[in-house]
Amino acid sequence: MTALPQNRHDNFRAPFDPYGAVTHEVTNQPVELTDTNLFDSDAALKESVRREGADWATPSLEAFGARAGSAEYLEQGVLANKNPPELDTHDRYGRRIDLVRFHPSYHALMKASIEEGLHSSPWSDPREGAHIARAARSYMQTQVEAGHGCPITMTFASVPCLRTQPDLAEQWLPKIEARVYDPRNVPAGEKAGVTIGMAMTEKQGGSDVRANTTRAIPAGAEGPGKAYELVGHKYFVSAPMCDAFLVLAQAPGGLSCFLVPRWRPDGTKNPLQIVRLKRKMGNVSNASSETELRGALGWMVGPEGRGVATIIEMVAMTRFDCMIGSSAGMRMATSQAIDHCRQRKAFGAYLIDQPLMTAVLADLAIEAEAAMTLTMRIGRALDNRHDAHEDALVRLGTAIGKYWICKRTPGHAYEALECIGGSGVMEDSPMPRLYREAPVNAIWEGSGNVQCLDIARAIRRSPATLDAYFAEVGAAKGESAALDAHTAALKNDMRDLDDFEARGRDLCDRLALGLEAAALIRAASPVAEAFGRSRLESRSVHNYGALTGVDCKAIVKRAAPR
């Protein structure tokens, strides 16, 4: 007997359908955006890699782009989010285990990220363009799945912080930098590769970590590198299966930073206990937990009482990764919107060719390219911190970029979703995931206002950072009348910083727009002029697509993923 197809969509046509069960043919519906090369199909990304000093990485980025854009790889991102992590606090016999179980796809993505060096390559293989090569790879990986990027980023970012404590660094860095993913719930001593998390936020304050109440009691001798027992709680601890955490706690001499492993060196469980997992609107594949520290053993990192200054080394790096992550979200949303509109017709014509839609798509593409271009510019600065200008640019540019790019992403995701229409709202589309992921980067690692305060702090403490900003933007002088006027007005308004906080949002928005415009001009990007026209000349409130005098078709063509 001939086997019947499993469902009616498998091109099955009954020769005779007496019951009228074949109701219609599916037409005018796009095919999924899969099996593209996320590197090759992204002109702006390829140019930035070449321009910012990582051309040597192009062949391996091409290979990774093909892998990341494949249907099979994209499916890992879907499954890791469809099957959220689950917590077992105890085993069935009542022993404390604090075990979070993840779907195999989450582990597959973690393994791939670590094998690609996203958690460490600029530290383990430093060279010209190392941060750029990593950022480009991370940008592609995050388009596939953002949640698992959290422990990858924290592991990457922990390195500058741990280096401030050489004895601990010597012990931990070889395993942090190793390209080995070992998810087992066993002591770090039994592993060849480890991951690192961070725990600062408490119930009474996340931005204001000085309000932390967790205490660190000396276990013997006191001071940097010495052992303490920590008692208290942490309200947000993401990726709680990391092998160790950088934790803030009040030592006798003030708020200090500690390295707290999941297991003690004697092989017993360190009492950093997971109380529950958060139920989050997005970032679902990543477990974020509430924890209690019941005498958890930890070692002081950096000077006593200088916990914030020590951990800020880590936070600066995570903020850079927020720029990468949010830029990646915008790129994927733009790709999905353009690809859908390329295949979907309404009123007799493809959406992509209908002027209102072309303008919306072009505007989404401009926003995404500006974000990625600025991110890569800061990546180059990270690669060249020995240069005073680049170092100052890292300090101010990371705060500005984190503030702006992460804040632009939710609105961008929504507009891209609307381009797809009703199907964009469906859970089996990638859009709800992009949409729900979008606000997260703006909140953690310093929310919007906190970034504005940090920008003010950086400028007040080191006016050289503002000089570097204006030198950077000034390098594009004469290329765009809009940018020149923008910069002159901004310079004037930044002369007196006394009431910066009250004007902070306005000033930080303008700082960001100037930096993005300059980055696009410097990159000779074809979207630079449209950016200036739509974002510098006209700063009134408007929706995506309110572009005039711009060659929208050319911009959409450049951004099209296939």
Ligand X SMILES: Cc1cc2nc3c(=O)[nH]c(=O)nc-3n(C[C@H](O)[C@H](O)[C@H](O)COP(=O)(O)OP(=O)(O)OC[C@H]3O[C@@H](n4cnc5c(N)ncnc54)[C@H](O)[C@@H]3O)c2cc1C
- The single residue among 443, 464, 494, 497 that binds ligand X, judged by CB under 6 A, is 443
User: How far, rounded to the nearest angstrom, does the alpha carbon of residue 258 sit from its chain's CA centroid?
Assistant: 25
Total residues contacting ligand X by CB under 6 A comes to 23
Binding window for ligand X (CB under 6 A); candidates: 177-185, 403-411, 416-424, 446-454? 446-454
288 binds ligand X (CB under 6 A): yes
Find where tokens 């492993």 sit: 261
- CA distances from residue 519 to 289, 317, 380, 383, 491 in whole angstroms, order as listed: 38, 20, 12, 16, 18
H helices present in 344-428, as ranges: 355-383, 388-420
| Smallest separation, CB 438 to ligand X (Å) | 12
Binding window for ligand X (CB under 6 A); candidates: 32-40, 198-206, 368-376, 478-486? 198-206
| Smallest separation, CB 387 to ligand X (Å) | 31
What residues form DSSP beta bridges with 301? 257
Residues 223-282 contacting ligand X, CB under 6 A: 236-238, 280
Tokens of 157: 């970012």
Distance separating alpha carbons of residues 271 and 269, to the nearest angstrom: 6
- The single residue among 30, 253, 432, 448 that binds ligand X, judged by CB under 6 A, is 448
206 binds ligand X (CB under 6 A): yes
- The single residue among 41, 171, 207, 423 that binds ligand X, judged by CB under 6 A, is 207
Query: Would you say 503 or 553 has its CB closer to ligand X?
Result: 503
- The single residue among 58, 70, 447, 462 that binds ligand X, judged by CB under 6 A, is 447
| Smallest separation, CB 406 to ligand X (Å) | 12
372-394 burial: b if 16+ Cβ within 10 Å, else e: bbbbbbbbbbbbbeeeeebbbbb
Distance separating alpha carbons of residues 157 and 391, to the nearest angstrom: 17
84 binds ligand X (CB under 6 A): no
Distance separating alpha carbons of residues 289 and 100, to the nearest angstrom: 10
Show the binding pattern over residues 452-491: x = contacts ligand X (CB under 6 A), - = does not: -x--------------------------------------
Q: Taking CB positions, which residue lies at the least distance from ligand X?
A: 206
Long-range contacts of 61-65 (CB under 8 A, 24+ apart): 61/133, 61/136, 61/137, 61/140, 62/37, 64/39, 64/116, 64/137, 64/140, 65/37, 65/38, 65/39, 65/40, 65/41, 65/140
419 binds ligand X (CB under 6 A): no
Query: Would you say 284 or 337 has its CB closer to ligand X?
Result: 284
Q: 70 φ, ψ to 5°? A: -70, 155
Binding window for ligand X (CB under 6 A); candidates: 249-257, 408-416, 445-453, 542-550? 445-453
Contact residues for ligand X, defined by CB under 6 A: 197-201, 205-208, 236-238, 280, 283, 288, 440, 443-444, 447-450, 453
